[in-house]
Chain A
Amino acid sequence: MQNILAMLQTGQDETLQPLYAENASIWHHMSEALYQSLYRVLSLLVAILPGILAFIVALAVFTLIGMAVSALLRRGLTAARFDDHLARNRGDIDWAPSTSPTALIARISFWASVLLGLLIGISAFDASYATTTTLPSSLLPYLTRVVGAVFLLIAGTLIARFLARSVLIGAVNQQLQYARFLSLGIKWLVLVLTAAMVLDHLQMGGNIVALAFGILFGGIVLTLALAVGLGSRDLVSRSLESHAEHSGERSATPPTTSTTGPADSIRHF
């Protein structure tokens, strides 16, 4: 019995001793890994910090230079009456104060300077980034994709709003009762297209985006076609009838005659 107990005790000691040793080793390895990771990240930050600082300084300096150049140009061109000279030489003189040639030149010079600062800053950042090999190699190119996607989104939103307004005003002036619906349809068509382009540009979603876009776009087009087709049957038939009547009248009478009937008594010009 005592032998058995002694064997068990020794067996426990044998099994417990290595377990304790392995736990200590795991904690040690974990802390070691965390420490190394922290060290890597901090050293990476330290490595790219000059690049970030250079980027900010370049942007700030060139923005200030741009402001100075813009102000100088604005004053100089205003003093030289540049707008008046240009208006005298050209016929298209419908400039608003905010879009006069002087304001445009000043604005262009400012933004050119800012863009130059941005390029120089990115170049400086890129140089410091190249020295640090620990940063994932796809991060910076992906950032440029994000910038491109933001531009796409802005352009798409602007185009959608412009087209929606154009369609709305045109449809109202054609007295289409579903003008707002048509305008909304066009707006969402362009927005869906923009969203699909943005996601594709960001390489997100893969085939799912293309598929979803196809379904949505097709759905909107089909809805619009059905709505317009069913809603404007009378309009189309009236238009065709009036066209046929006009053709008949034109062949019978000269086109420019005085109008006497009540329906034609209104002459806008």
Chain B
Amino acid sequence: MATADPISAITTPSARPDNGLLVLLAAMTPEQLERVLGNLTASFPAEDLLIASPDAVSDALPAGSYPSLRIVAAPAANAAWTLTAADFVNAYQLADKNKARGLLMLGSESGSLGASALHGLANAVLTTPTDLAVSCYDLPPHAGLVNSAILYPLTRALFASRVRYPLAPDLGLSLRMAERLAGVAHRFTAINQGEAPLWPVNEAAVAGFTVDQFDVGPRLQSRPTGPDLNTILPLVTGALFSDIDAKAAFWQRFRQLPPVDDPLPMPQAPSSDAAADIAPMLSAFRLAYSNLHEIWSLVLPPNSLLGLKRLSTTDAADFRMPESLWARIVFDFLLAHRLRTINRGHLLGALIPLYLAWVASHINITTSGTTPECHIEAVAAAFETDKPYLVSRWRWPDRFNP
């Protein structure tokens, strides 16, 4: 049965924007769309822009607004909360077809980004040698916790990158970076896994491309619609673990972390009235400890199990998961994922209560006065310190088991 090619449905603009900037937008409300277009046209001449949107822009905007802006149709994004493999394939096809010089991919709710943020991301790939411009958000203290607990520390320890949000939905891409990402993404779309998240920072690190991150300020973040944490966490961690597995030859070599150029925005410590209730997370962890101990013991070494046993009997007020213990847990799950010690679905499902324990501990620590960013940096440092353990067990899984 013949299927319609989403790219072929694009309306070809009268004049091709050679060497311009292609802006690929996610689906958004007319108000947000107008705000994004206003911010873009405030930073760049409208003639240099080509807007690709899945929405019917002409219907959404007031008649006569942005007359010189070229707008084409784009396929709708697979997931609203992040960029997926299919999005990168579509982006590169559009850029190649329209001979764009750089790409700006903006996720859902990107209307909350300021004009300077968009300018920074786009300008980096157009006028500087940067291949990948990643957004660094100023999020509330207890937001983006999966990123803070797993994605950022792992990316930093293994790929020697200080990018704070490796799964950021707003990116600036040079054409060669887009081409590389599309090549990787094509492998997923070819086997009907177009919804799989990609890891642009890891790809850029392996390819030796220049990566830079830009402080884009606060941003409204779209919630993953439909699936809950029990679905999304295994999806994201599974994709990251597989990517790490595929790039083992790269990260096993020692690499120096680049020095900090500009200090990142430091979210303020949460006020006491905004402190989250950690009781449900702790009860989930304790329930898991009494039920999943047998499964954890297949993955974790005795030291980690002892640490978890202590945690399971700790009071809520004193609940603190040591950074070294969390780093060791994530590394052991990564190793078990590689060795297929148990079914991968089971493995990633068994990680969820441990992650919730980390979140409870993080909230306790930040409530006691430590800034979230300080704690996250301490966690990332623990991952870096423990990296030799991961490398040793990766190379000799049977010989090295302390």
- Tell me if B374 counts as interface (CB < 8 A to partner A): no
B219 to chain A, nearest CB (A): 9
Question: What are the residues of chain A within 8 A of B195 when measuring CB–CB?
Answer: none
Which of A94, A180, A256 is within 8 Å of B220, CB to CB?
A256
Known: A265-B140, A268-B229. A180 touches B291 (CB 8 A): yes
Question: What are the residues of chain A within 8 A of B304 when measuring CB–CB?
Answer: none
Question: What are the residues of chain A within 8 A of B223 when measuring CB–CB?
Answer: 255-256, 267, 269
Question: What are the residues of chain B within 8 A of A162 when measuring CB–CB?
Answer: 343
* Interface class of chain B by DSSP: helix
Do residues A269 and B340 form an inter-chain contact, with CB atoms below 8 A? no
Residues facing B in A175-204 (CB within 8 A) are: 175, 177, 179-180
Do residues A169 and B284 form an inter-chain contact, with CB atoms below 8 A? no
- Tell me if B187 counts as interface (CB < 8 A to partner A): yes
How many residue pairs, one in A and one in B, have C-beta atoms under 8 Å apart? 126
Per-position 1/0 for A237-269, Cβ under 8 A of B = 000000000000000001111100011011111
Which of A99, A169, A179 is within 8 Å of B340, CB to CB?
A99
Do residues A268 and B145 form an inter-chain contact, with CB atoms below 8 A? yes
Question: What are the residues of chain B within 8 A of A180 when measuring CB–CB?
Answer: 290-291
Q: Which A residue's beta carbon lies closest to that of B233?
A: A268
Question: What are the residues of chain B within 8 A of A87 when measuring CB–CB?
Answer: 246
Do residues A269 and B221 form an inter-chain contact, with CB atoms below 8 A? yes
B250 to chain A, nearest CB (A): 13
Known: A96-B340, A98-B339. A172 touches B288 (CB 8 A): yes
A184 to chain B, nearest CB (A): 11
Question: What are the residues of chain A within 8 A of B142 when measuring CB–CB?
Answer: 265-267
Q: Which A residue's beta carbon lies closest to that of B223?
A: A256
A20 to chain B, nearest CB (A): 75
Question: What are the residues of chain B within 8 A of A177 when measuring CB–CB?
Answer: 287
Do residues A172 and B292 form an inter-chain contact, with CB atoms below 8 A? yes
Do residues A269 and B353 form an inter-chain contact, with CB atoms below 8 A? no
Do residues B146 and A268 form an inter-chain contact, with CB atoms below 8 A? yes
Do residues B191 and A92 form an inter-chain contact, with CB atoms below 8 A? yes
B243 to chain A, nearest CB (A): 9
Residues facing A in B262-281 (CB within 8 A) are: 270, 273-277, 280
Do residues A256 and B229 form an inter-chain contact, with CB atoms below 8 A? no
- Tell me if A205 counts as interface (CB < 8 A to partner B): no
Which of B139, B339, B353 is within 8 Å of A173, CB to CB?
B353
How far, in angstroms, from A258 to B139 measured CA to CA in the complex? 10
- Tell me if A170 counts as interface (CB < 8 A to partner B): yes
Do residues A169 and B190 form an inter-chain contact, with CB atoms below 8 A? no
Do residues A266 and B340 form an inter-chain contact, with CB atoms below 8 A? no
Question: What are the residues of chain A within 8 A of B291 when measuring CB–CB?
Answer: 168, 172, 179-180
- Tell me if A37 counts as interface (CB < 8 A to partner B): no
A38 to chain B, nearest CB (A): 54
Per-position 1/0 for B337-380, Cβ under 8 A of A = 01110110110011011000001000100000000000000000
Ranked nearest first, the 3 interchain pairs of A and B with the lowest CB-CB distance are: A91-B187, A267-B143, A169-B349
Do residues B232 and A268 form an inter-chain contact, with CB atoms below 8 A? yes
A14 to chain B, nearest CB (A): 84
New A-B contacts (11) at CB < 8 Å, excluding given A90-B190, A169-B350: A92-B193, A165-B295, A170-B230, A172-B288, A258-B220, A262-B276, A262-B277, A265-B276, A266-B363, A269-B82, A269-B144
Do residues B242 and A94 form an inter-chain contact, with CB atoms below 8 A? yes
How far, in angstroms, from A172 to B292 measured CA to CA in the complex? 8
Q: Which B residue's beta carbon lies closest to that of A257?
A: B220
Do residues A266 and B188 form an inter-chain contact, with CB atoms below 8 A? no
Do residues B188 and A173 form an inter-chain contact, with CB atoms below 8 A? no
Q: Which of A92, A94, A255, A266 has the most CB of B within 10 A?
A: A266
Question: What are the residues of chain A within 8 A of B230 when measuring CB–CB?
Answer: 170, 173-174
Do residues A96 and B274 form an inter-chain contact, with CB atoms below 8 A? no
How far, in angstroms, from A96 to B397 measured CA to CA in the complex? 11
Per-position 1/0 for B311-345, Cβ under 8 A of A = 00000000000000000000000000011101101
